[in-house]
């Protein structure tokens, strides 16, 4: 019976469109495409050296008593640490279109660099280091839930996230973005 349920779940996963919700889980799987152009894309790259066109991204959100967000990258620049955060707005044709970081308790001064607000307990930080193949994974578990339609994307940044006063939450240029319909 358990094999049958697993087989059914696997076949449904193939049939459901990107971003489809099963229960409280959201999973987005896509390949990065160049930003701009005539069509909006699920995953865009602004730096094709660090985040090549065709590189793969998976973002999963699991909601229960807490919120768990996972990020997986494949085919990125090898042996590199990237900052990554959940952002408020969807990806666009320009890096800053995704807006500021999503914060549970919102800093009244934006962009937020105050460690009281810009920290991994108040934001979803997903910094990730790739291996020699350009693959990596990270996760963040939060004791709160995203507000409806207030968290819309994950942005891959130039370097690891800073934590110091005046620079907390910063991670350099926005290299890529993936739209995620967080719940």
**What percent of the chain shows pLDDT beyond 90?**
83
Q: How confident is the model at residue 38 (pLDDT cuts 50, 70, 90)?
A: low
Q: Look at residue 141 and tell me whether its pLDDT is greater than 50.
A: yes
Other CB atoms within 10 A of residue 93 CB? 13
The pLDDT tens digits for 50-107 are 999 999 999 999 999 899 999 999 999 999 999 999 999 999 999 999 999 999 999 9
DSSP 61-110: EEESSSEEEEEEEESSSSS-EEEEEEESS---SSGGGG-SBP-SS--SSS
CA 56 to chain centre: 12
CA 143 from chain centre, in angstroms, equals 18
Is the CA virtual torsion 72, 52, 32, 152 positive or negative? positive
pLDDT tens readout for residues 59-70: 999 999 899 999
Tokens linked to 51: 């985040």
Average pLDDT over the chain, rounded to an integer: 89
Evaluate if residue 176 carries a pLDDT over 70.
yes
Beta strands in the chain (DSSP E): 21-22, 25-31, 33-34, 43-45, 56-63, 67-74, 81-87, 128-129, 136-142, 153-157, 174-179
Inform me whether the pLDDT recorded for 2 exceeds 50: no
Distance CA 87, CA 151 (A): 6
Q: What's the half-sphere exposure (Cβ side, CA atoms, 13 Å) at 38?
A: 0
Question: pLDDT exceeding 70 applies to what percent of the chain?
Answer: 85
> Quick check: helix, strand or coil at residue 5?
helix
Task: Identify the pLDDT of residue 103.
Answer: 98
């Amino acid at each position: 019976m358990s094999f049958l349920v697993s087989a059914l779940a696997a076949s449904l996963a193939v049939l459901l469109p990107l971003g489809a919700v099963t229960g409280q889980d959201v999973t987005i799987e896509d390949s990065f495409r160049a930003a701009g152009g005539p069509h909006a894309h699920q995953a865009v790259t602004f730096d094709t050296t660090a985040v090549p066109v065709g590189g793969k991204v998976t973002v999963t959100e699991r909601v229960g008593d807490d919120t768990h967000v996972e990020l997986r990258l494949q085919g990125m620049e090898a042996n590199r640490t990237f900052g990554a955060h959940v952002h408020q707005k969807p990806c666009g044709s320009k890096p800053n279109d995704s807006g500021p970081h999503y914060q549970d308790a919102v800093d009244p001064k934006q962009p937020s660099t105050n460690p009281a607000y810009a920290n991994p307990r108040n934001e979803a930080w997903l910094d990730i280091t790739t291996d020699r193949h350009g693959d990596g994974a990270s996760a963040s578990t939060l004791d709160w839930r995203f507000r409806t339609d207030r968290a819309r994307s994950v942005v891959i940044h130039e370097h690891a996230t800073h934590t110091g006063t005046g620079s907390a939450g910063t991670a350099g240029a926005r290299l890529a973005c993936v739209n995620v319909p967080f719940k």
